[in-house]
Amino acid sequence: MQSDVLTVGFLVSLLAGAIRLSIPILLPALGEIFTQRSGILNLGLEGIMLMGALGGFAGTFFTHNLWFGLLCAVFVGVLFSLIMAFLSITVKANQVIAGTALTILGTGLSAFLFRAIFGIQKLPPQVESFQPLKFPILTDIPVLGPIFFNHNILVYLTLVLVIVTAVVLEKTTFGLKVRAVGENPKAADAKGIHVQLVRYICVAIGGAYAGLGGAFLSIGFMSTFLDRMVSGRGFIAVAVVIFARWNPYRALAAALLFGGADALQMRLQAIGVPIPHQFLLALPYVLTILVLVSVSKKAEFPAAYTLPYTRAER
């Protein structure tokens, strides 16, 4: 048994799996960094991801074009996140309740629309999902090839997005505005920054990323849509954001940790270790709690975190 765990083959599949499974956590987490930096806590990621997963799947199914599917996922994600933006920014509702509502709505609506569009079938409808890229030479390197150079294009695009997110947040005027709105909306307003508009944009960006994250599950990983396919990843992404202290590079590291836990439980199940598989399934969730407990005390939340902005209030 131990010899099974320590083989090179096991490690390679574990690490490759860790990278692949970190993506559906990393994508929503990157978007949530924008959202939270602007002062909004979007707990509706789970619902947005489900809608994105369905949008991506349906778009691909009817056009046989994966990129169009991806575009649909982004569109659906943005549209759905605008509900959250409206509730938290315009209505100034409690963001936890609004996020919970969005998750419930997304869970129900994605399942309902899936049945309405595809009907009830014995076998779930399938699409040809994004296939792993083959790099000349690189893919054939032993050990490193299968770990790093045998993923589909979405994995590499996500890694590019990590850098893009970091650059936009730290080096552009827009990023500066986002941070100003999240730290001191009053001062930002005095400087002539449209606080509510910036927040709307940030929530929408978060929705686009979450939609992509959902689509990664349906057309980049599974090639079908399942009601419960997101299974808490939206909430894990929020934990990742806090763990990463709102930094995209650290979010990458944290997402790899969670992807690793997910991959570990899958690999251990596959080789049949004598641990009840339910314990393995619970592993990523236990890890999330441990991580939150260890970092939350010291984390410096954006000063205007979860506070709606009104000009009249002092």
Instruction: Assess 303 for contact with other proteins (CB under 8 A).
Output: no
Burial code of 38-48, b = ≥16 C-beta within 10 A, e = fewer? bbbbbbbbbbb
Q: Closer to other proteins by CB, 149 or 235: give it.
A: 235
Count of residues in the chain: 314
Helix (H) or strand (E) holding 102: helix 95-118
Neighbour count for residue 88 (Cβ, 10 Å): 28
Burial of 273 (0-12, 13-18, 19+ CB in 10 A): middle
Cβ contacts of 166 within 8 Å, gap of 6 or more = 247, 248, 249
Q: Closer to other proteins by CB, 132 or 232: give it.
A: 232
CB of 144 to other proteins, least distance (A): 34
Q: Closer to other proteins by CB, 168 or 307: give it.
A: 307
Site track for other proteins across 220-249, x = CB under 8 A: -------x---xx--xx-xx--x-------
Instruction: Assess 135 for contact with other proteins (CB under 8 A).
Output: no
CA distances from 137 to 49, 157, 286 (A): 35, 21, 39
Task: Please report where in the chains the tokens 């995209």 appear, as a residue.
Answer: 248
Instruction: Assess 91 for contact with other proteins (CB under 8 A).
Output: yes
Give residue 228's Cα distance to chain centre: 15
Site track for other proteins across 273-302, x = CB under 8 A: ---x-xx-xx--xx-xx--xxx-xx-x---
Q: Closer to other proteins by CB, 215 or 236: give it.
A: 236
CB of 93 to other proteins, least distance (A): 4
| Residue 89 DSSP label | I
* Structure tokens belonging to residue 154: 């979405």
Of 5-64, binders to other proteins (CB under 8 A) are: 43, 47
Q: Closer to other proteins by CB, 100 or 139: give it.
A: 100
CA distances from 110 to 58, 84, 186, 210 (A): 11, 17, 38, 14
Contact 251, 240 (CB under 8 A): yes
Applying CB under 8 A, which part among 15-23, 71-79, 109-117, 212-220 lies near other proteins? 109-117
Task: Please report where in the chains the tokens 């894990």 appear, as a residue.
Answer: 236
* Structure tokens belonging to residue 110: 């994605």
CB of 142 to other proteins, least distance (A): 36
Instruction: Assess 310 for contact with other proteins (CB under 8 A).
Output: no
Instruction: Assess 116 for contact with other proteins (CB under 8 A).
Output: yes
Rg value, the chain, Cα:
20
Instruction: Assess 250 for contact with other proteins (CB under 8 A).
Output: no
Contact positions vs other proteins (CB under 8 A): 43, 47, 83, 87, 90-94, 96-109, 111-112, 115-116, 120, 227, 231-232, 235-236, 238-239, 242, 276, 278-279, 281-282, 285-286, 288-289, 292-294, 296-297, 299
